[in-house]
A = this chain, B = another copy of it.
Amino acid sequence: MEVTNRYTVIKHHINGAPEESDFELKPETLTLSIEPGKKEMIVKNLYISMDPFQINRMKDRSSSYEPIKYSGSLIPGEAIYGPGVGKVVVSDNPEFKKDDIVSGYLSWGEYTRTKPEYQLTKVDTMGLPLSYHSGVLGVSGFTAYAGFFDVCKPKKGEKVFVSSASGSVGNLVGQYAKLFGCYVVGCAGSKAKVDLLKEKLGFDEAFNYKEETDLKSALKRYFPDGIDMYFDNVGGKMLEAAIENMNTFGRVAVCGVISEYTNQDKRAGPSMVDVVYRRLTIRGFLIPDHMHIYNDFFSTTVNYLKNGKIQVLEDISHGVESIPSAFVSLFRGSNVGKKMVQIADD
């Protein structure tokens, strides 16, 4: 049996902010059968996660990011891979059978032809929506959990600031921090997002950074006693302002630097004098280094979800042709919560 598999590629390397016109959809004819002996599979993609870090792979020089296979620099015209959830259509891999739900690196297309080294894992949905396995129970959730618990090492009652707080990772950091017993303030880029953080997600406070002319004073207002932990998704001026408001022994977990991704000149110039005198730690992290707490993350988060303790914010586009606009939206701040593309119903 043959199908048409449409998949997304970049037409050329992208150095600034991405535009929809940088992408195109390529069709290929895919035979739904596997030559035996190589443990390959064909997976029908269901949900594809949209993540800002992918922009770094689209640049015209090799990124230094190579910790996860298939995540080096992208070649124009070739398939893009990213986290996602799919269903096995054909399997020559004894670990998987037809109709198994799997998660891992899938193509930004309708089908993925997988090799054993892709390290897909079988998903037990546990009665939760499939999309959760591409968001709150996937890379975004684990990034929030690992960054908050393993990098920041919080104590109850500490004061936490989260930027991009309505984004896929930030909203969960704030929710984990509240559940843990911290005071949490988030910033976001619109009144609707700010309302959502305070009213739906239980943040203690939230503010619209676009309405603040002086970020340092804004943070001083929300943290009169200083910030103990800053979960940084953006870098730039916000990082500078946070550093100047941090308490002694404050920790900054740097998860992403969206301001630098599309404009290298937008680097933060944090006060290193404050870093020394307040003995601050600024630490970049990636989740493959935190697998020792993966089981904790998964069971804790499943429990929270089943008990309604965590609100799931998803922003889902539909159809493979919506991948470019979905990805571009991440850099325009128009997503709310986890941005993903549902490729097929099942």
Contact = CB atoms under 8 A, between A and B. Distances in A.
Interface string A269-293: 1111111111111111110010000
A254 interface: yes
Contacts of A205: none
Contacts of A278: 64, 284
A256 interface: yes
Contacts of A254: 272, 275-276
A284 B277 contact: yes
Given A269-B268, A272-B268, A283-B282, A277 B235 contact: no
A261 interface: yes
A78 to B, nearest CB: 22
A257 interface: yes
A146 to B, nearest CB: 11
Given A65-B277, A239-B272, 15 more contacts: A63-B277, A64-B274, A64-B278, A232-B272, A254-B272, A255-B276, A257-B272, A260-B272, A268-B270, A268-B272, A274-B284, A277-B286, A280-B284, A281-B284, A282-B283
Contacts of A282: 275, 281-283
A259 to B, nearest CB: 9
A276 B271 contact: no
A61 to B, nearest CB: 12
B273 A261 contact: yes
Q: How large is the interface on A (under 10, 10 to 19, 20 to 34, 35 or more residues)?
A: 35 or more
A98 to B, nearest CB: 38
Contact of A275 (B264, B272, B284): B284
Interface in A319-343: none
A148 B153 CA distance: 23
B56 A273 contact: yes
A6 interface: no
B255 A260 contact: no
A227 to B, nearest CB: 14
Contacts of A267: 269-272
Given A267-B270, A269-B267, A269-B268, A276 B285 contact: yes
Interface in A237-274: 239, 254-257, 260-261, 264, 267-274
Return the 5 tightest CB-CB contacts between A and B, nearest first.
A275-B284, A267-B269, A276-B284, A257-B272, A282-B282
A73 to B, nearest CB: 13
A108 to B, nearest CB: 21
Interface string A44-83: 0000000000001000000111000000000000000000
A190 B33 CA distance: 69
Given A268-B269, A272-B239, A281 B283 contact: yes
B269 A269 contact: yes
Given A267-B269, A269-B268, A279 B289 contact: yes
Nearest to A286: B279
A286 B247 CA distance: 14
A121 B307 CA distance: 58
